[in-house]
Chain A
Amino acid sequence: MPDMKVVVCAKQIPDPAAPPLIRPDTHTLDRTGKLILDDSDSYGVEMALQLAGGADDEVTLVSMAPNGETAGLRTALAMGATRAVLISDDALLGSDALGTAKVLAAAIRPIQPDLVIAATESTDGYTGTMPVQLAELLGLPSVTFAKGVAIDGSTVKVQRQTEAGYDDVECPLPAVVTVTAGVVEPRYPSFKGIMAARSKPIDVLTLADLGLAPADVGAAGARQEVTQVSEAEARTAGEIVEDDGEGAQRILAFLEQLKVI
């Protein structure tokens, strides 16, 4: 397909390797510090680059970050994406999944992409609801949990992950597809890519640029509120069984006790 246009929703998140900071007032993650490309989205970027690798094809990253951060987008641009659109506005602070979907939809609509790719869920928020809300707002069909994606003419063919294996699903383009980790192996940005990324365009837009009212998004428009955050229970130490010849039986007994077999 000539001039394939793919949009990748690329979230920039606080480095998961660093201890997370939760804002005491909103019970949400403090995202005011340095942000990096969500690893979950690197799969989508790679998938897009493989699907739209032609000279006239275009991979556009669309991202929303409250503090104008572009480091994560530069990483994805260094992988090979063509350009990026960043929506950054103080009024976005406290947006819930639907608020985010409204903003991304408004930014994606004028691009008129053939395909929109998003991660199944982000590594910091984990709601997993934004992509389907986005599809609804764009009026596009969506296929979730893709472990394989191929384009055939004006159709996208997806291997949709299930508990037992995968379903083969087809859907007309344009469409929204969410990809799982492992759909493809993300490339490492090359030195050349990093250098090229420095001069690739990142359009920074505000809510006004998108024609959105502050009341529709951010904390003001959020229909969802995090009321409480508590620490996950610490993992207890496991039981170590030395195999004295009856290891397999011990495992079987343990699994039976858990009623998983």
Chain B
Amino acid sequence: MAFQAVCRKFVEEQVTPLVAEAEEKQRFPTSLWRRMGDAGLLGLGFPEEVGGAGGDLLSVAILSEELAKASGGIAITPLVSSYMAAPHLYRFGRPDQMREYLAPVLTGHKVAAIAVTEPDAGSDVAGITLRATPEGDGYLLRGTKLFITNGGIADIIVVAAKTAGGDGHHSITTFIVEAGQPGFSVGRPLRKMGWHSSDTRELIFDDCFVGANRVLGEVNRGFYQIMQAFQEERVVLAAMGVGLAEACIEASVAYARHRKAFGRPISSLQAIRHSLAHMRTQTEAARLLVYQAAVLADAGADAAQATAMAKLFAAQVANDVADRSVQVFGGAGFLEESPVAMHYRDARVLRIGGGTDEIQLEILAKLMNL
């Protein structure tokens, strides 16, 4: 757990002091990129040969947990870049693509995003409509992506597009697009319920030319590539849920010890102390599911069931614990300046992003041969 201690120290020293301003300005503090890169926190789970920092998915989960304790909006920004977008570059990129696009992301010199979701296709990845039409030595991309985290700050965007007609399972290809390319533009920042310091945009592709050398992986195999990389993404999001719940518990316990009602600290009232004990238990259970999913994936074992369970359960626990923590705070919890209000808002997206609760339940039901 020495690594957890380092992550905690890093977050306390480098991230926590920036949260209030980042949330207020709804902007990710850009100084964090290089600081995280220098500390080796953007290249975990990637081998040194490609510029990574060693480590595994469990170490990524631990980092995610610690970052999310400070702020979901700040946490998600580097986590998307390094652990949701970059894995596509690593798993499916050619050596030259890894040198050019992956290596700078793992050191914080460049920011990455992954663009799959569209206005009419979220969980239904096969239903995307952004088209990539062959043109000369490459493709013309046309269409829009929506809810793209890091959309406005990314230098490198992995974009999923339809390259053939028919069933989406066999007609999707992923491409590497660079910010500033002709034909590519981003909409204004989308205002969200939570994750205020995270940048979320609509991406517009208006006959954006991408050379054939920027195809990532195999043509028409994109659906399967995306599904593979989703596994890591879900572990990261689940770990964020655990971190968020942990932060809510810490804040609630401190408040309950201090706040007096009926002549004694509310932590001595059964209604409150039992709620806190329940929060603690739920969070620990979620943490163990997340660690199990990470450990299985690290061992090369089938982690599909563990990952779906971890994502489903941790996201729900985060919401329940955040709700309970606001209740512990009472009126103070309803104030924006309370330490739990931000977490309460940030928790909700965890049941949606990276595969909704319903998608996880569907995966689990299928694994039960139902």
Contact = CB atoms under 8 A, between A and B. Distances in A.
Nearest to A71: B2
A191 B10 CA distance: 13
A189 interface: yes
A78 interface: yes
Given A78-B2, A188-B6, A188-B9, A195 B39 contact: no
A75 interface: yes
Interface of B: 2-3, 5-6, 9-10, 38-41, 44, 48, 53-55, 59
A192 B6 contact: no
B44 A191 contact: yes
A78 B9 CA distance: 14
A194 interface: yes
Given A74-B2, A75-B2, A191 B55 contact: yes
Contact of B54 (A74, A75, A195): A195
B6 A189 contact: yes
A135 B44 CA distance: 42
Interface in A115-168: none
A187 B39 CA distance: 7
Given A75-B5, A191-B59, A194-B6, 14 more contacts: A78-B6, A187-B38, A188-B9, A188-B10, A188-B41, A190-B39, A191-B3, A191-B40, A191-B44, A191-B55, A192-B40, A192-B48, A192-B53, A193-B40
Contacts of B5: 75
Interface size class of A (residues with CB under 8 A): 10 to 19
Contacts of A195: 54
A194 B10 CA distance: 14
Interface string A61-82: 0000000000000110010000
The 4 closest A-B pairs by CB, nearest first: A190-B40, A188-B39, A191-B55, A192-B54
A208 to B, nearest CB: 31
Nearest to A196: B54
Nearest to B40: A190
A191 B54 contact: yes
19 contacts: A74-B2, A78-B2, A187-B39, A188-B6, A188-B39, A189-B2, A189-B6, A190-B40, A190-B53, A190-B54, A191-B40, A191-B55, A192-B53, A192-B54, A193-B40, A194-B2, A194-B3, A194-B6, A195-B54
Nearest to B9: A188
Contacts of A190: 39-40, 53-54
Contacts of A194: 2-3, 6
Contacts of A74: 2
Q: Which of B2, B5, B54 has the most CB of A within 10 A?
A: B2
Contacts of A78: 2, 6
Contacts of A75: 2, 5
Nearest to B5: A75
Nearest to A188: B39
Contacts of B9: 188
Interface in A183-208: 187-195, 197
Contacts of B39: 187-188, 190
B51 to A, nearest CB: 12
